[in-house]
Amino acid sequence: MPDPLIAQALAGLTSPATVIAAAPGRVNLIGEHIDYCDGFVMPFAIDRSIVIAAAKNDSTIAHLRSEGMPDAVIDLSVPQQIGEPHWANYVRGVIAGFQQLGHLIPGFDACFVSSVPGGAGLSSSAALECATATLLEGLLGVSLSKKQKALLCQKAEHEFAKVPCGIMDQFASTFGEKDKLVMIDCRSAEVTLVPFENPDLAVIIANTNVHHQLSDGGYAMRRKHTEEALELLGKSSWRDVSLADVEEKWSALGDPVNRRARHVVTEIARTQEAAQALALNDYLLLGKLMDASHDSLRDDFEVSCAELDVMVNIAREVGMSGGVYGARMTGGGFGGSTVTLCLSEKASAIMQALQERYRAATGIEPEIFCSRPSAGARLVL
Ligand code: GLA
């Protein structure tokens, strides 16, 4: 996380900060739309964060400010409810979680700053929730387990942002570590930190700068399709479903539920295979699995969009001869970002190709950067 962000957060306070908290966004290498299907996911915390600087104010009121957003005032002496401005609902949701644990939160002034692009599929909302939870830990002098904190933040997203998300984003933001992937078994909610430190490998994140309105309803609808499919398959967990099971019930499931089901089972298998490929340093295979993941998200799960496909196709055109192992959309989809695994020495040329060719094809200026796995949510002060 760049220090200027901390300086900016401090500059937004009128009194000296007593607590500073930071939490990162995430990118997911593989395992998409299966965190709510008992699958495996392989995200890492990126080096883009939300930083909050705060000072207690001897009241029961929280005054929140964030550049470019309306200020928010929250009464901490009452149970939280959804309100205005909208961005503060993520904060209210996390406060509600701490209140439900029996904590009385002291009044504070806080300034929020962010280097996580919003609406880019990089989990700026999870970063906001996890930074808020970490700030409250600091203000209260308590410490939740990482898992408890991530689950509290997920609940905030469900209840105060009304997004029925899985556990990936909040777990990645909380458990992230430098040079580590956060591999999550979403059935047991167990985290394994997998080293990802080969300097020859780079990860490029390409934000298409489009965010289609469909996203919120589309996400809930996909989740509903997977629940319907599991019920029709007569199973209690996707981990017990094989591709043969889906094929056998193909017409009973009907379209598009059968294709949604095929994505879930094939993506769970791909992610397990990707973990093995990584352990064997087989990046060619890992890249192929990322490519196949994108195709499945585009054709079977239908959460890609024209701009994401353009960005992925440019990376594929550059191909292995240009240093690209594989590319796919990352996150919830319907816009947002792609993730490209490539050779470090070719990363600049690849980024330039993505930038220029995407702009030429769409007329939209993308935002393209590299990130290595970075630290998770933490107190800076
Ligand atoms: C969003 C959700 C996650 C996950 C991804 C898709 O980021 O918040 O829980 O479902 O979409 O993999």
Tokens of 233: 């398959």
Q: Which helix (H) or strand (E) holds 49?
A: strand 43-56
Q: Is the CB of 168 under 6 A from ligand 1?
A: yes
The pLDDT tens digits for 134-169 are 999 999 999 999 999 999 999 999 999 999 999 999
255 C-alpha vs ligand 1 centroid, how far in Å? Answer: 23
Beta-bridged to residue 184, according to DSSP, are 41, 191
For the four alpha carbons of 271, 286, 216 and 306, in that order, the dihedral sign comes to: negative
User: Smallest Cα–Cα separation from 170: which of 199, 208, 134?
Assistant: 134
* Distance (Å, whole) CA 163 – CA 90: 11
Give me the amino acid identity at 14.
Answer: T
The torsion angles phi and psi of 129, rounded to 5 degrees, stand at -65, -50
Question: Residues 37, 281, 241, CA angle at the centre, nearest 5°?
Answer: 20
* Distance (Å, whole) CA 89 – CA 95: 10
* Distance (Å, whole) CA 92 – CA 368: 32
Ligand 1 atom showing the smallest separation from residue 33 Cα: 12
The pLDDT tens digits for 54-90 are 999 999 999 999 989 999 999 999 999 999 999 999 9
331 C-alpha vs ligand 1 centroid, how far in Å? Answer: 5
pLDDT confidence bin for 213, thresholds 50/70/90 = low
The pLDDT tens digits for 278-316 are 999 999 999 999 999 999 999 999 999 999 999 999 999
Ligand 1 atom showing the smallest separation from residue 167 Cα: 9
Q: What is the pTM of this model?
A: 0.97
Mean residue pLDDT of the chain comes to: 97
- The answer to whether residue 216 scores a pLDDT higher than 90 is no
pLDDT confidence bin for 214, thresholds 50/70/90 = low
Q: Which helix (H) or strand (E) holds 126?
A: helix 124-140
* Whether the Cβ atoms of residue 34 and residue 55 lie closer than 8 Å to each other: no
Q: What integer is the mean pLDDT of 10-34?
A: 97
